[in-house]
Structure 1
Amino acid sequence: MYKENNIPPEKKRLLKALSCSDSTWILSYYLSSIIKEKSLISQKDTATAIGGVALKPVGRYVAWNFFKSNFDLLYEKSGKEGWSWKNLVEDLTSFFNTEFYYQELEQLSESKADKSAAKFKSALTETRTKIQWLSKNYQSVVDFLEEEQFPVAELL
C-alpha cells in the first residue's frame, strides 16, 4: 500500500500506522528495514518513520537506540538536509527528562559535532529545562495528587 501510494498525506498516515505495534521486536525490525539498501521506505520518509516509532511509549527507547546506533548511516542517507533533522530529534528526545538521557544526548552531540551540533542544541536545552522543572516540582505534584487521593503509586 505504501509503495503504490502517491499521495503524501496518505503515505504519512501509512507510515504512522506501521509504527503502532506494541512489540519492541517488530518495531526494531521495522526500523532496521529503513536503512536497508533496497528499503521499501523512501529516503524522504525516513524521519517520519523513525519519529512515528519514537512517539509511541513502547517505541521511545527502541527508536532512540536505533538512532544512536545508526546515526552516521542515517545522516548519510538524509543527504545532510534531506529530511527534517530538527523534527526527528524533537520526536526522539521529547520524553527525555533525566540526567541519564541528557548525558546520552550530550555525548552523541559531542561525538558527532561536525554533523550535529546545531541539531541537538535545542533538544539539550529542552531536556535540561525538564530536569530542572522536575527537580523543583516533582514532590509538590506527588503531594498534591496524594491529597486528592489520586493513585500515585500506579503512575510511578
Structure 2
Amino acid sequence: MRTSVLNTAWANGNDDVIDTATQLFQNWMRFNQTVDADLKSVVYPVGIAYGGEEEWEFVWDQYLSSSDPYEKRLFLSALGMSRIPWLLSRYLEYSIDPSKVRTQDTTTVIAYVSGNVYGRYLSWNFVRNNWSLFLERYGGGSFSFSRLIKYVTGSFTTELELKEVERFFSEQGDQGSGARAVRQALEVIQRNILWLETNQNLIQNCLSDTQSCFSSSLS
C-alpha cells in the first residue's frame, strides 16, 4: 500500500513526496546511492517527470545496461513520464528500433507514453505515421495489435477525437481480423464521452467543494 499511496500522492502534485523522491533520484544518479526496492517505482518516474534530458539519459543508460527484467520494466515505465515532448518523441522512435527496444516491448513503451498527458497525442500521431509498420509487424488480429489501438485511443473523451479515429481507420480500408479491435476502440471512446457528459458537473463540484464530493457519488 505504501507504494500505491506515494504514487497517488506525487501524481496529484504532493510537494513533500515529489521533493523527497527527486532528492533520492539525484542521490542515486550523482552519488550512486541505492534506492530502496519498494521506492523505485516512485523515485524513478518522479526523477524523470521533474528532471530534464540529463535525468532521462541517465535512466536510459541504466535500462540498456541492466539485465534484470523487473528493473528494465521499471526503467521503461519511468522513461515515459517525461514532460518534455521531444524526449517522448525520441522515445517513441526508439520503441520501433530493435537495437534499442525489444520488439515485444514496443507496445509497452507506447502504452507508457500514451498514459502521459504530455504524450497522449504524440503517441497517437506516431502510430498513425507508422501504421504500415505496425500492421506488418503485429498483424491485424494479434493481441499486440489490439493493445496498441487500445493504448493510443483509450483516453480520448471528445466527439472531435472520436471522429478523428473513425476517419483514420476508414481511410485504411478493410481491417480484416483487426476490425474487432477498431470497433472496440470506438466503443470505448463513446463510453468515455458519455461518462464525462454524465459526470462533468459533479467532478467540477468536487474540485471546488470537497464536501459536495463526499455527499455525492460518480456514476
Separation in structure 1 between the aligned mates of residue 207 and residue 85 of structure 2, nearest angstrom: 32
State the match for 1:101 in structure 2: 161
How far has the Cα of 1:4 moved from its partner? 5.1
| Structure 2 unaligned blocks of 5 or more | 1-61, 213-219
Corresponding position of 2:170: 110
> Using a 3 Å threshold, how does the CA distance of structure 1 residues 145 and 35 change in structure 2: closer, same or farther?
closer
Q: SS at 1:49's partner residue?
A: helix
Task: Report if aligned partners of 1:35, 1:74 keep a CA contact under 8 Å in 2.
Answer: no
Looking at structure 1, the residues matched to 167 and 180 of structure 2 have their Cα atoms a distance apart, in angstroms, of 14
Match of 1:22 in 2: 83
Q: Which has the higher contact order (CA 8 A, sep 6+)?
A: 1
Tell me: CA distance 1:11–1:82, structure 2 relative to 1, closer, same or farther (3 Å): farther
CA-CA distance at 1:5 after TM superposition: 4.6
CA distance in 2, matches of 1:18, 1:43: 17
* Cα offsets for 1:105-144 (capped at 9, x unmatched): 1122222332531222111111111212333442354356
Greater gyration radius? 2
Equivalenced residues, count:
149
> Cα distance, 1:148 vs. partner?
4.9
Work out the CA distance in 1 between the residues paired with 2:76 and 2:165.
26
Offset of 1:79 from its aligned partner? 5.1
Q: How much is the aligned-residue C-alpha RMSD, in angstroms?
A: 2.7
1:154 equivalent in structure 2: none
Amino acid at match of 1:72: S
% identical aligned pairs: 32
Note if 1:33 corresponds to 2:33.
Answer: no
Inter-partner Cα distance in structure 1 for 2:86 and 2:205: 38
Change (3 A) 1:83 1:134: closer
The TM-score normalised by the length of structure 2 is 0.58
What stretches of structure 1 of length at least 5 have no aligned partner? 151-156
Higher helix share: 2
Classify 1:79/1:129 alpha carbon distance in 2 versus 1 (closer, same or farther; 3 Å).
Answer: closer
TM superposition score normalised by structure 1: 0.78
Q: Distance in 2 between matches of 1:139 and 1:15?
A: 36
- What CA distance in whole angstroms lies between the structure 1 residues aligned with 2:202 and 2:63? 47
Distance 1:4 1:104, change over 3 A: same
Tell whether 2:184 aligns with 1:122. yes
1:70 to 130, 154, 159: 130
